[in-house]
């Protein structure tokens, strides 16, 4: 049993690889992607993904765009933004578009794990509520 | 630099000279040309006018004099024709006739005499006792014997007075006799003497030999010989001649001549050219005077104008140079910022990877059973060091990026005091740990400033943080004041810390200048402040003395004065 299913998105291959190893070691199930486009594709294949760790600055489809797309397709998936920039603006923009939180790169591993856990639990709570609501709907319908 | 300056000076000099010369040429040339042309035209027309006037005058007087002479002659002739020789030989009868003539012509006729063909005066009426006088040798008598009428030249005669004779010859019993009358010289002279123009214009009559027939009134007696030739050369012409010629004194004179008495006499009008053309002379003098004064005015004006223009250009040059320096300075800062941002971003990723790799090793170390190895602790320490140094890199790159990034520079109305209170409250926490008290002394009713709130917060926080850093060891007090002065809003952040050494004062606004220990500061805080305040059209300045403390002063123009930048701002000197 893993703590959470996480999609890690960053254009820095070495970073993604090391992070994957470290996070996997911390009992996270990591799927990696190296671009925004790839992230969307991976999400389509792996419906189990709960949390996305997303780099803001990427070539091609950049972070905010990817975030928007993810939120549009999978509103329940939580996204943690990683920013190399100290640009509070882009972070705030990310939050506005529904990001769960943001962290500055290089980030503290424990902090990241903490955030991922929070995000995952939030997502699960959301899902539980939805299931509950659905069940209530069904039961009330039957009753 | 020095050579450059002298070169520039020379350039300015020649520029001033060129402007001066251009103004002079452009304004004086037309002035002189126009006045010259007008003067010339006036001269020509004035000459014509004066000559025409003189001609007319001479013509009129020629007619007058001719008429006078003819009239007198015809009077005497009619006397001779009307009365017989016998009647006129009677002296009392003759006296009656003379009285009658004198009554008619106001003593123009002085006397009357009847002379026989031998030149003996048979009868005489007049004031002189000339009865039985013998005229047989008088030239007029000889002439009278030849032609029927004679008007003699002026001569002194028997009486020793200048006069001339009008004589008429007639026959009585086959013997010629002559009736003669003396014409009053004064009356005749008046006719000519009346011709006067200006101060030097006068007229006289000469006979063919050049002897005066009138008494020239003028002091300067003309020597007729000089120009008589000229007249007699074209003597045939009865029209009035006019010419100019210098007299004995070398002064130019205008002469106008006309023939009288069928060419026996010449009426000459003479006038100094300078007098005749006095109007032109006046105009000429006036023009010269106006030209001189105008020229002088133009020269003075051109001198000052060119000087002022060059000064203005100078000032603009200086302003431009200053502006260039400023632009270069700003550009330098901006490019440094861009460069820093680029580097920061590029470094950030590798650093992140390195830190993660170190972390990964740490992770792996935990799994490995290396309990026996004596180096395990060293490994861990080294990895920890890599991580902490990576963090330091992160801090630096983040600050660099914030230095270069475009912050929220939306300008809005900001209540400065409120902003100060906010930032001070934020800093209070840190101040407490450092044993620092922060006091504020804010002037009420400060004008609202048009600034970017975020940027001004950054400036203020940077300044207070610097002060806190300075007071970290010993604790102390920070004062934040705000007040208005000379249309500026001033914010002061004062601490009683150790102060800034003079050597560093000039450099504290330079990017990357820091006195903090390695790893503690980036040297960008004040540089960012400087850039922000500059952008707002304000000034940031520092005063410091060792062991007494440091004051940072931010001066911002009041609303409405934002565009006006003080030229001699001290902040700039510090920076450059």
Which tens digit of pLDDT belongs to each residue from B45-54?
988 888 888 8
Q: Is the pLDDT of residue A86 over 60?
A: no
Lowest mean pLDDT among A99-113, B125-139, B418-432: B125-139
Indicate whether B537 belongs to any domain: yes
Angle between helices B91-105 and B2-82 (to 10 degrees): 150
The tens digit of pLDDT for each residue in B322-371 reads: 888 777 776 666 676 677 777 777 787 888 888 888 888 888 888 877 66
Domain with A12 in it: 4-142
Residue B75's nearest CA partner among B114, B48, B102 is B102
Indicate whether B413 belongs to any domain: yes
Residue B549 burial class via C-beta count within 10 angstroms: exposed 0-12, middle 13-18, buried 19 and up: buried
Give the largest Cα separation in chain B, rounded: 197
Q: Which of A18, A25, A109 sits opposite B353 (nearest CB)?
A: A18
Q: Find chain B residues with C-beta within 8 A of A89's C-beta.
A: 408
Res B296: pLDDT = 92
pTM of the model: 0.46
Indicate whether B212 belongs to any domain: no
Q: Is the pLDDT of residue B40 over 60?
A: yes
The DSSP H or E segment spanning A124 is helix A109-142
Please give the average per-residue pLDDT across B441-456, as a whole number. 82
Lowest mean pLDDT among A7-21, B45-59, B97-111: B97-111
Distance from CA of B568 to the nearest CA of A (A): 36
Q: Is the pLDDT of residue B566 over 60?
A: no
Interface test with A, best of B351, B353, B404, B524 (most A CBs within 10 A): B353
Q: Find chain B residues with C-beta within 8 A of A104's C-beta.
A: 394, 398
Please give the average per-residue pLDDT across B442-459, as a whole number. 82
Q: Where are the beta strands (DSSP E) in chain A?
A: 4-9, 28-33, 51-55, 78-83, 101-104
CB A78 within 8 A of CB A119: yes
Q: How does strand A51-55 pair with strand A4-9?
A: parallel
The residues near B276 (Cβ < 8 Å, ≥ 6 apart) are: B50, B54, B197, B198, B201, B254
Q: How many domains does chain B have?
A: 1
Task: Name the more confident of A139 and B328.
Answer: A139
Task: Name the more confident of B184 and A143.
Answer: B184
Indicate whether B442 belongs to any domain: yes
- Report the mean per-residue pLDDT for chain B: 79
Indicate whether B473 belongs to any domain: yes
Res B572: pLDDT = 38
Indicate whether B36 belongs to any domain: no
Which residues of A have a CB under 8 Å from any CB of B? 12, 14-15, 18-19, 21-22, 25, 57, 84-87, 89, 104-107, 109
Res A142: pLDDT = 61
Lowest mean pLDDT among B22-36, B344-358, B450-464, B518-532: B518-532
Q: Which residues of B472-507 are buried (b: 16+ CB within 10 A; e: fewer)?
A: eeeebbbbbbbeeeeebbbbbbbbbbbbbeeeeeeb
Q: Which of B360, B401, B408 sits opposite A85 (nearest CB)?
A: B401
What does the DSSP 8-state code read for residue B262?
Answer: G
The DSSP H or E segment spanning B246 is strand B241-246
Lowest mean pLDDT among A73-82, B229-238, B330-339: B229-238
Q: Is the pLDDT of residue B289 over 90?
A: yes
Lowest mean pLDDT among B280-289, B298-307, B537-546, B559-568: B559-568
Res B230: pLDDT = 58
CB A26 within 8 A of CB A53: no
CATH, residue A109: 3.40.50.2300
Compare all CA atoms of chain B with the CA of A25 and give the residue at the minimum distance. B363
Please give the average per-residue pLDDT across B316-321, as a whole number. 89
Interface test with A, best of B356, B401, B457 (most A CBs within 10 A): B356
Domain with B520 in it: 407-575
Distance from CA of B8 to the nearest CA of A (A): 49
Distance from CA of B408 to the nearest CA of A (A): 8
Please give the average per-residue pLDDT across B7-18, as a whole number. 78
Residue B49 burial class via C-beta count within 10 angstroms: exposed 0-12, middle 13-18, buried 19 and up: middle
Q: Is the pLDDT of residue B3 over 60?
A: no
Indicate whether B452 belongs to any domain: yes
The structure tokens 């001269």 sit at B43
Indicate whether B375 belongs to any domain: no
CB B179 within 8 A of CB B87: no
Res B154: pLDDT = 79
Q: How many domains does chain A have?
A: 1
Q: Which of A22, A57, A86 sits opposite B402 (nearest CB)?
A: A86
CATH, residue B543: 3.30.565.10
Interface test with A, best of B337, B348, B394 (most A CBs within 10 A): B348
Res B552: pLDDT = 92
* Token code pair at residue A74: 């999978």
Lowest mean pLDDT among A50-59, B134-143, B401-410, B540-549: B401-410
Q: Is the pLDDT of residue B281 over 90?
A: no
């Amino acid at each position: 049993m893993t703590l959470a299913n996480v999609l890690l998105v960053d254009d820095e291959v070495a970073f993604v690889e090391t992070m994957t190893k470290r996070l996997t070691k911390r009992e996270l199930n990591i799927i990696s992607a190296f671009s925004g486009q790839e992230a969307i594709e991976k999400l389509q294949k792996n419906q189990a993904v709960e949390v996305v760790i997303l780099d803001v600055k990427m070539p091609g489809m950049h972070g905010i765009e990817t975030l928007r797309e993810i939120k549009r397709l999978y509103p329940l998936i939580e996204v943690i933004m990683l920013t190399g920039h100290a640009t509070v603006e882009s972070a705030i923009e990310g939050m506005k578009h529904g990001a769960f939180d943001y962290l500055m790169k290089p980030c503290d591993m424990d902090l990241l794990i903490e955030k991922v856990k929070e995000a995952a639990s939030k997502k699960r709570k959301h899902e539980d509520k939805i299931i509950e609501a659905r069940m209530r709907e069904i039961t009330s319908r039957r009753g | 630099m020095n050579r450059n300056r002298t070169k520039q000076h020379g350039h300015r000099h020649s520029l001033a000279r060129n402007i001066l010369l251009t103004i002079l040429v452009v304004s004086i040339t037309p002035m002189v040309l126009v006045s010259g042309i007008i003067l010339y035209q006036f001269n020509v027309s004035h000459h014509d006018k004066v000559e025409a006037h003189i001609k007319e005058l001479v013509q009129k007087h020629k007619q007058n004099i001719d008429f006078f002479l003819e009239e007198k002659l015809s009077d005497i002739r009619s006397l001779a024709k009307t009365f017989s020789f016998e009647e006129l030989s009677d002296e009392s009868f003759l006296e009656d006739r003379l009285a009658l003539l004198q009554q008619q012509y106001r003593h123009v006729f002085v006397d009357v005499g009847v002379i026989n063909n031998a030149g003996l005066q048979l009868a005489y009426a007049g004031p002189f006792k000339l009865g039985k006088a013998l005229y047989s040798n008088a030239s007029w008598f000889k002439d009278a014997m030849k032609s029927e009428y004679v008007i003699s030249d002026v001569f002194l005669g028997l009486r020793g007075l200048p006069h001339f004779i009008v004589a008429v010859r007639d026959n009585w019993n086959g013997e010629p006799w002559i009736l003669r009358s003396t014409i009053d010289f004064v009356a005749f002279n008046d006719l000519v003497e009346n011709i006067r123009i200006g101060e030097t214009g006068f007229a006289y009559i000469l006979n063919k030999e050049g002897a005066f027939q009138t008494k020239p009134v003028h002091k300067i007696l003309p020597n007729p010989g000089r120009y008589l030739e000229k007249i007699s050369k074209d003597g045939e012409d009865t029209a009035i001649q006019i010419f100019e010629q210098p007299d004995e004194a070398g002064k130019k004179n205008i002469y106008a001549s006309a023939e009288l008495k069928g060419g026996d006499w010449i009426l000459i009008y003479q006038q100094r050219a300078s007098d005749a053309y006095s109007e032109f002379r006046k105009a000429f003098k006036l023009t010269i005077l106006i030209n001189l004064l105008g020229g002088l005015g133009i020269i003075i004006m051109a001198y000052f104008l060119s000087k002022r223009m060059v000064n203005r250009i100078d000032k603009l040059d200086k302003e431009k140079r200053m502006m260039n320096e400023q632009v270069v300075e700003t550009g330098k800062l901006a490019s440094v910022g861009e460069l820093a941002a680029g580097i920061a971003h590029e470094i950030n990723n590798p650093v992140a990877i390195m830190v993660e790799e170190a972390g990964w090793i740490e992770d792996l170390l935990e799994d490995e059973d290396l309990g026996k190895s004596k180096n395990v602790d060293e490994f861990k320490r080294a990895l920890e060091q890599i991580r902490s140094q990576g963090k330091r890199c992160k801090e630096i790159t983040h600050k660099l990026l914030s230095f270069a990034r475009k912050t929220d520079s939306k300008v809005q109305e900001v209540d400065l005091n409120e902003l100060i209170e906010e930032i001070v409250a934020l800093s209070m926490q840190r101040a407490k740990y450092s044993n620092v008290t922060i006091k504020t002394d804010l002037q009420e009713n400060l004008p609202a400033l048009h600034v970017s709130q975020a940027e001004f917060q950054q400036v203020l926080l940077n300044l207070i943080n610097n002060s806190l850093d300075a007071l970290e060891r010993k604790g102390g007090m920070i004062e934040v004041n705000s007040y208005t002065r000379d249309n500026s809003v001033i914010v002061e952040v004062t601490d009683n810390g150790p102060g800034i050494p003079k050597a560093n004062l000039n450099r504290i606004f330079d990017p990357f200048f820091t006195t903090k220990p390695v790893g503690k500061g980036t040297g960008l805080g004040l540089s960012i402040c400087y850039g922000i305040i500059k952008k707002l059209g304000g000034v940031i300045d520092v005063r410091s003395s060792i062991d007494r403390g440091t004051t940072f002063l931010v001066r911002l123009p009041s609303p409405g004065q934002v565009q006006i930048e003080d030229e001699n701002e001290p902040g700039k000197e510090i920076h450059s």
